[in-house]
Structure 1
């Protein structure tokens, strides 16, 4: 039993230490994902150490100490995405319909042919904006029916798993489809005009993940997130960034994005809202995100039922409450984070100046 528990402890220690490296290899960056699962395993290991081993032995005490340190470290990352942590975004007390903005973010999975399920969700929840990821020409044709109620759209159908579409009840302006880092991975940038007449700067992203079947490293994904973060950080406009970022909420790179951009995460203090993978309840992570500037407070955020994709759709309802902007604050970046962000973008030879700034004065 000592041998088994020692082996398991070493595995958890390795999985905990690997993400401390900034190396972008997919194996190392992949260890950012299962922090919740590692927390559960560490808890089980601690119980097993106490139940099955002699706690007076120095070997057992060493195992308990190492496991406890791993547990505490993992908890530091995931606790913000529980009800035990203070809310980063205030709950809205604004009920004027003109100030509301609702967005469904949905990775539809290109081979999935259950478009009707998504259409039913849109008809039920009536979001102001629907953004789809992995949507190809087939999906565009099927979702055309939505244009009766959502007449504004931006379409980028691709058959490489990186197609994107935006359908909106609200006017979209200064539309631009860009390939910021990789020539076959688009992003969409635009302004969105609220019912109040206020203009919102919106960015829809879906960078490629680090994986053995995609990019061997996370460098491309990280660079796209960093340059968008650095770009919006310079804006005083209301900003929303949403999409499938192929990164978990509790990773170092997503945290870097939040620090550099200054945007808020409405999940902090409310829950993880794990959207991937639909079929494996024990292996689910928050891959679909919505971040926003301090101009907004939260009405509601919820994970919607499956539409046959490997991702659940995410519905976020915000209130445009700029008067509350001084009462909300995200996490701040230090000098080392700014240097790290510059290095990440420089490695891919991309710049914050490559990111469109819709709504900004020339």
Structure 2
């Protein structure tokens, strides 16, 4: 019984910790392992129900608290299963229009990973229109020149601080920019890709710093960067895709707030989690690599790709632009409270960046047409 009580108490405490609205990494880190906490809670529940002992008031109380904790954890992750309605409509193969489609690979390559050929093989097999690499330095940049004949439109940001990124495209890129939104060390890429049908699609490629004991002590800058982009996206009627390693999970409060503020859709909802990290430890996995898109896209295909030697799996997403879907999809709308919370988080991030000596207004570095 002591083991059952201990597992139950741990499940409840971890759940309560995830409800605390503070930015310190030890609270925000509890947003990540919800699937693992559910597993722990189910083991505790099994132990509580099967142990042959009298049902005391304490045992009933522990059971009630455990069930509440499990209910909360399950309601956070169930939208990313087949038990939930699809948020993004699937395109019927009979209505495929290749000139309106856009396929993408997002790959956090792990800077120290030297198995470059594995990603190159995936690119040559799937032939995505766009490839985004994260944690890519000059060594990775040199290795990826092998694909540049097929991907002549490139935005390069090679860095050796784990925040380099490269955007490769078969299709023309316009108005490409590298922005350092809240830190001189954390870039993001923003560009417009032109589909074969002539339609422009705005891309926002992000890789904010995670809250962790070895990187950022809190989630302030990560949350602010995501919501800065979400606010910008929410103010436009353009076709938009936001993609990258957001160092946050889809079911976190911040990411859900981002979706409401931006009005973007998540093609994983109603399907599956697509857990991408950690590639080497099956029990310690959650979804860190994301693609969100505007309501005028439908889904052709989305899948996690094989191991490329990184601590992340790449993600392949194939979309089709269909304007009529704007009237079919129903994104969550932001309430006045959501808007106020987003503004507060952005202000906190800007204030923290400026206190560190970074001029936020000067953090935009235009590259011009590619």
TM-score bucket of the superposed structures, by smaller chain: over 0.9
Q: For each residue in 1:104-151, what CA deviation from the matched residue of structure 2 results, as whole angstroms up to 9, or x when unmatched? A: 000000000011000000000000000000000000001011111111
Preserved CA contact (<8 Å) 2:5 2:44: no
SS at match of 2:147: helix
Aligned position for 1:118:
119
In the alignment, the residues of structure 2 paired with residue 323 and residue 65 of structure 1 have an alpha-carbon distance, to the nearest angstrom, of 47
- Residues 230-309 of structure 1 aligned to structure 2 (within 5 Å): 230-309=231-310
Q: 1:293 to 1:62 in 2, by over 3 A?
A: same
Aligned position for 1:8:
7
Once the two structures are TM-superposed, the CA of residue 7 in structure 1 deviates from its matched residue by 2.2
Once the two structures are TM-superposed, the CA of residue 53 in structure 1 deviates from its matched residue by 4.8
Q: 1:307 to 1:54 in 2, by over 3 A?
A: same
Aligned position for 1:344:
345
Q: TM-score, structure 2 length as denominator?
A: 0.93
In the alignment, the residues of structure 2 paired with residue 121 and residue 148 of structure 1 have an alpha-carbon distance, to the nearest angstrom, of 16
In the alignment, the residues of structure 2 paired with residue 128 and residue 342 of structure 1 have an alpha-carbon distance, to the nearest angstrom, of 35
Q: TM-score, structure 1 length as denominator?
A: 0.95
- Superposed structure 1 runs of 4+ greater than 4 Å apart: 350-356
Once the two structures are TM-superposed, the CA of residue 34 in structure 1 deviates from its matched residue by 0.7
In the alignment, the residues of structure 2 paired with residue 55 and residue 138 of structure 1 have an alpha-carbon distance, to the nearest angstrom, of 64
Extract unaligned runs of 5+ from structure 1.
none
Aligned position for 1:199:
200
Aligned position for 2:39:
40
In the alignment, the residues of structure 2 paired with residue 161 and residue 349 of structure 1 have an alpha-carbon distance, to the nearest angstrom, of 22
Extract unaligned runs of 5+ from structure 2.
354-359
Aligned position for 2:138:
137
Preserved CA contact (<8 Å) 2:4 2:45: no
SS at match of 2:301: strand
Preserved CA contact (<8 Å) 1:87 1:269: yes
Aligned position for 1:79:
78
Aligned position for 1:105:
106
Once the two structures are TM-superposed, the CA of residue 57 in structure 1 deviates from its matched residue by 1.7
Preserved CA contact (<8 Å) 2:8 2:45: no
Preserved CA contact (<8 Å) 1:205 1:241: yes
SS at match of 2:330: coil
Once the two structures are TM-superposed, the CA of residue 42 in structure 1 deviates from its matched residue by 1.1
Once the two structures are TM-superposed, the CA of residue 297 in structure 1 deviates from its matched residue by 0.3
Once the two structures are TM-superposed, the CA of residue 22 in structure 1 deviates from its matched residue by 1.6
In the alignment, the residues of structure 1 paired with residue 303 and residue 162 of structure 2 have an alpha-carbon distance, to the nearest angstrom, of 25
Once the two structures are TM-superposed, the CA of residue 45 in structure 1 deviates from its matched residue by 1.1
In the alignment, the residues of structure 1 paired with residue 191 and residue 332 of structure 2 have an alpha-carbon distance, to the nearest angstrom, of 26
In the alignment, the residues of structure 1 paired with residue 228 and residue 89 of structure 2 have an alpha-carbon distance, to the nearest angstrom, of 27
Q: Which moved more, 1:344-353 or 1:92-101?
A: 344-353
SS at match of 1:348: helix
In the alignment, the residues of structure 1 paired with residue 191 and residue 362 of structure 2 have an alpha-carbon distance, to the nearest angstrom, of 14
Once the two structures are TM-superposed, the CA of residue 275 in structure 1 deviates from its matched residue by 0.4
Q: For each residue in 1:172-208, what CA deviation from the matched residue of structure 2 results, as whole angstroms up to 9, or x when unmatched? A: 0101001001110000001010000000111000000
Preserved CA contact (<8 Å) 2:193 2:203: yes
In the alignment, the residues of structure 1 paired with residue 362 and residue 14 of structure 2 have an alpha-carbon distance, to the nearest angstrom, of 35
SS at match of 1:31: helix
In the alignment, the residues of structure 2 paired with residue 267 and residue 293 of structure 1 have an alpha-carbon distance, to the nearest angstrom, of 14
Aligned position for 1:226:
227
Once the two structures are TM-superposed, the CA of residue 355 in structure 1 deviates from its matched residue by 9.3
In the alignment, the residues of structure 2 paired with residue 349 and residue 137 of structure 1 have an alpha-carbon distance, to the nearest angstrom, of 30
Once the two structures are TM-superposed, the CA of residue 56 in structure 1 deviates from its matched residue by 2.9
Q: 1:76 to 1:353 in 2, by over 3 A?
A: farther
